[in-house]
Structure 1
Amino acid sequence: MFATATRNFVAEVDHGGLLIPVSSLNDTITLLTVVVKRKRFWLWQKPKYLTTDFNLNDILKGDTPIQPDTKETDFIKYNGTYGDNIQGSMNANFVHSNVSLEAKDSSKLQSSFGGLKKEEVNVQKLLQDSKGRVLDMSHCLIQQAKEKHRRVFGIVKERIVTTNPCSVIEEVQQGGQCGGRLSLCGPKNPKVSLKENGSLSTDSNVTVEIPTHTTIAYGLIELEVKHDGSYKLCLMSDTMGGFEVDSFAHKGPVDVSGALAHKNNHLRQDLEQLNDHFQLLSSLPVTTRSSLFQQFTEVMQDQTAVSALQNVLDQMCLDKSLPQGDTTTTEPQKQNIQAILDLVEQSGQVGLAQTGQSTSVLTAIHLISSALDEMTNDCLAVLGICCNHTMLQTMELLVQCVSEKGELSLSRAGQAALTEDVFEKAEHLFATSNVSLKRDGDTVKTEINQEPGNLPLALCIAVRGLGSLVCCV
């Protein structure tokens, strides 16, 4: 809830910029705090930032601490309200039965941060103070970061803090109705009719009080660290830090190119490089695919659950270690995540005979999870509505359209499949990922908005991945 509020805040005030949202109220972040940037499994993913209990002076050699020159300025007054209203229904008719389902889901998140101020370090003075200084390479934090690889040190150069007590309020209303009729008859048996109607509704209202001087976002300067502990401040936004041992050869199971994925020509290339993963998922037994699809649709209902699943899979793919318990997830969320892990374990390693290559179900599932984790709450909510066989088939055609010529004939998509209602949902879904859809007679045209980030690629991967799991019924 707090993480969602700070994420929305950064998206509004620094879209495509350098501010990093604080994910936990438990994080203590001050100027010169050391933050570890963890590069991800896939190059198109945004990095993860892990705050530490140390500041720059704690890992420096010598007894003379750096005294930063700092200043405070008024930033903005911020109050934001975000909400989703989702409604869906389904009717199924069979020879002897019919079932109807209706669901409504609404949520509202109100972030009242009030007046905010910015604290920042005088970078020019920090640069002068850093001349001739050396990091203590025997420090446990540095040793552990080097052992993990793909880790970069950064220090907090600016932070956005609250000036008064404030609050984040989340209101959720969920309701559903189910109706059904089942009839059984046979030559020697009397006809039996079963009827059942039910409804379920839940409401929740949670308020989190945030104290004064709470950091909600921050900016970093990365460090380029040499073997002997000498370091440089990476002053340009396109200059990356890291340890010298990692600078000569990049290691890691990264499958897509490092080029900006929102460009059309790169989008097609990146998706082609991931085809093995989609083929692997579509070749799984029907029962496995169906179960995985069901669990993913459950997890997608909450951004917190998506992030928790991603953290578990990251640990298994990158650190090759068993996942630890996550105290931030609810019991149903833990059960959904564990069910996915169980299905992955049962599937094991699968080879693709047609390509002569081999990949694991774990990597393929991690690919879908990674794409979902990159999405906004709005995008996840709309994608959740589209999670059925017919709509995903249509979305896959639109994904192909985006990555190729940018035009789709409705005769190819099927006029019945792309109804006005389906088109409205698709238009909203793609718009949340910086892709515009326009209807021009019998043709749908797509255009990728040239904004920073990899949302178009993340959406395409999510649709292709979920489409590989959904089973035709």
Structure 2
Amino acid sequence: MLGVLSTCSPLIKMFAKATKNFLKDIDAGGDLIPVYSLNDSDKAHLLGVVAKTRRFWCWQKPKYHFSSCSCTLSDIMTEDKEIKPVVVESEFVKYEGTFGDVIKGNIGAEVGALQMNASGCGYVESQSSFGTLRKQEVDMQHLMKDVHDRRINLHHPFIKQLQENKNDVLCILKEKIVTTQKCIITEHTQTEETFKGKVSMKAKIVKVSVSENGNYLKDENTILEIPPPTAIAYGVVELYIKHNGTFDFCLLSEKKGGFEKENLEKHQHSNPLPSDQLVLFDWDVVDGSKEAFVRKCILRSAPLCLLREGIAAHEKHFSAWKQLPDVQCLELYTLLCQILYDGQALSKLHAVVEDLCSKRKPTQAAFDELMPSQRIIAENILYLSGYDMPNGKFLHAANRELLVALHILTSALNELSDSALAVLGTCCELQLLPVFSALMNMSSDEGLCSTTEPALMDFLDQERFYVSQKLFALFNIELEIKEDFIYAATAEDPGFLPLILFIVITGLQLLKRD
């Protein structure tokens, strides 16, 4: 299967995985943003306008959207005078990377020297080679001279739409990373991982391989060709726009873009939202303060007990599920466990829930790319949470807090890889979530728990411990048995993954009502 600039969902996913892997290697924690689809690559023009939407929860990175009409900075200015950027082009890097998971046999790549009792063995490897990449960058000094004393047209349709959401920021694309030769992206899927004994893991392992000049693995089952020059990453500069249309470039990281408050409030008061499109919750209230968007990652080598405070801040929203009957809760739990094995359906569900938790109403075509069985699961999850997707309406106004709870859970799950979701699903089947909760609650300041604790007895089962260890490793948590103690603490550079895991565990546990 060969596609060039295809919009087919699996091919989009392949391209997105390749660009995310690239930035994880060369710009982890940096300012570059991956291009998620080939359509967006075509829109990535220097000085193109980009909308940045800040997200709800601390672990979520902002979303960036190109304008559908491919606007540039010139198009949104009051004066009809084109701005021609001075572009500096240079060789960026020659990138080659290899990523792999041992899916049967020794899984040392993910959990140390641990040996798995598995039937057969196999290794799924992703080789990424974009070859020599080039950076195209706008000369900001020259640009600032060009736009001195000029104004943004606040009546431009794109700007007016940005003003409707106080969390949207106008950005200008200032740099991009482009390929210099034809690349082939290939994808291989491993659908099952089976261990000796009673434990069977339904893992769908999806890996992306990129190789230049048409040299690609023959046994891969999906192939995507991308031509040069294709943008695979870009950087932006935020704009702070004053109420008279003048603006500043936010050149320092601590300087934040947006619209001056006076102008924003005036616009909001003159355009009240219909009652059926009200935001489900206040952004400033949900996370406790306006500083909720500051991304403070978890410390390395931190005991699990330190996660309790972060989880408690979100657990109060899960309490909405307490109003549901036991049967309805169990049905919702069962459906969510099923969707763990389907990253595409989960992603689509999350997008709809996020729309509902803002002022955007999801389109009826939101689930069109899903198979009928996937669509039924997603629509049933929404229905149990108080929203009738086929008819596009809330069942009861009082049920909207159920969608907030669902939004927290799907927002956390949507950050995970297909492998992590599959292993999490296996742990749900093995009913290990209560054990994980007990481990966090019993963990000492040194990250230790006694192996004699009744609530942790499942860890003494070798196969269950192996699966638990693999799950924790995927979430940057070290899990080991040291003599008479179980040790669990965050690994090197844990990021938000440990917090995400235990937020998911807490939410699912409340639904299961164990």
User: Shorter-chain-normalised TM-score: which range?
Assistant: 0.7 to 0.9
The equivalent residue for 1:303 is 343
Instruction: Measure how far apart 1:283 and its partner are.
Output: 5.7
Contact 2:298 2:495 in 1 (8 A): yes
Counterparts in 2 of 1:378 and 1:364: CA distance versus 1, 3 Å? same
- Does the 8 Å contact 2:163/2:264 carry over to 1? no
**Which residue in the other structure is 2:479 paired with?**
437
1-structure distance, mates of 2:172, 2:306 = 33
| Partner SS state of residue 320, structure 2 | helix
**DSSP 3-state at the match of 2:324:** coil
Cα 1:248–1:144 change in 2 (3 A) is closer
1:10-159 pair list within 5 angstroms: 10-27=23-40, 28-52=43-67, 53-84=70-101, 111-159=128-176
User: Deviations for 1:175-226, whole angstroms, at most 9, x for unmatched residues?
Assistant: 599xxxxxxxxxxxxxxxxxxxxxxxxx981111111111111111111111
Write out aligned runs for 1:37-436 (5 A).
37-52=52-67, 53-84=70-101, 111-174=128-191, 205-245=221-261, 251-252=282-283, 254-257=285-288, 258=292, 260-263=296-299, 267-281=307-321, 284-319=324-359, 321-326=361-366, 327-345=368-386, 360-388=401-429, 390-400=431-441, 406-412=447-453, 413-436=455-478
In 2, Cα distance between the equivalents of 1:61 and 1:371?
Answer: 42
Taking structure 1 as reference, are residues 447 and 119 closer, same or farther at Cα in structure 2, changes over 3 Å only? Answer: same
Shift of 1:431: 3.0
Deviations 1:102-141 (A, max 9, x none): 9999966554433222111122222333321211111000
User: Following the alignment from structure 1 to structure 2, what is the Cα–Cα distance between the partners of residues 153 and 244?
Assistant: 12
Task: Tell me the SS of whatever aligns to 1:422.
Answer: helix
Length-normalised TM-score, structure 1: 0.79
Secondary structure of 2:449's counterpart equals strand
**Corresponding letter in the other structure for 2:257:** G
Partners of 1:87 and 1:287 in 2: how far apart?
37
The alpha-carbon deviation at position 402 of structure 1 amounts to 6.8
Unaligned runs of 5+ residues in structure 1 are 89-101, 178-202, 352-357
| Bigger fraction of residues in strand | 1
Distance 1:5 1:176, change over 3 A: closer
Distance 2:428 2:93 in 1: 39
RMSD: 3.5
Q: Deviations over 1:264-294 (max 9, x none)?
A: 6974323112222333336633332333233
Contact 1:277 1:359 in 2 (8 A): no
TM-superposed deviation, 1:54: 1.0
Q: 1:414 to 1:366 in 2, by over 3 A?
A: same
Report if the CA contact (8 A) 2:74-2:83 is conserved. Answer: yes
User: Match of 1:262, as an amino acid?
Assistant: I
Secondary structure of the corresponding residue to residue 148 of structure 1:
coil
Secondary structure in structure 2 of the residue aligned to 1:325: helix
Whole-Å Cα distance in 1 between the matches of residues 334 and 297 of structure 2?
A: 29
Partner of 1:9: 22
Q: Distance in 2 between matches of 1:248 and 1:261?
A: 31
User: Is contact 1:37-1:154 (8 Å) kept?
Assistant: yes
| Amino-acid identity (%) | 36
The answer to whether the Cα contact below 8 Å between 2:243 and 2:262 also exists between their aligned partners in 1 is no
Task: Work out the CA distance in 2 between the residues paired with 1:401 and 1:104.
Answer: 36
Letter aligned with residue 32 of structure 1: L
1:458 to 469, 491, 500: 500
Seen in structure 2, the aligned counterparts of structure 1 residues 248 and 135 have a Cα distance that, compared at 3 Å, is closer
Provide the C-alpha distance between the structure 2 equivalents of 1:451 and 1:429, rounded to a whole number of angstroms: 17
Deviations 1:158-178 (A, max 9, x none): 11111111121112243599x
Task: Give the aligned length.
Answer: 428
8 Å CA contact 1:375, 1:459 repeated in 2: no
Deviation, 1:150, is 1.1
CA distance in 1, matches of 2:430, 2:103: 19
More helix by share: 2
The answer to whether the 8 Å contact 1:110/1:168 transfers is: no
Partner letter of residue 226 of structure 1? K
Deviation at 1:78, TM superposition (A): 3.1
The answer to whether the 8 A contact 1:84-1:378 is kept is no
Say which SS state the counterpart of residue 457 (structure 2) adopts.
coil
TM-score, scaled to structure 2: 0.74
Equivalents in 2 of 1:24, 1:362: separation in Å? Answer: 29
Contact 1:41-1:318 at 8 Å conserved across structures = no
Q: Flag structure 2 segments of 5+ consecutive residues without an equivalent.
A: 1-13, 106-118, 195-218, 266-280, 388-393
Q: Distance in 2 between matches of 1:244 and 1:389?
A: 53
**1:404 shift after superposition:** 7.0
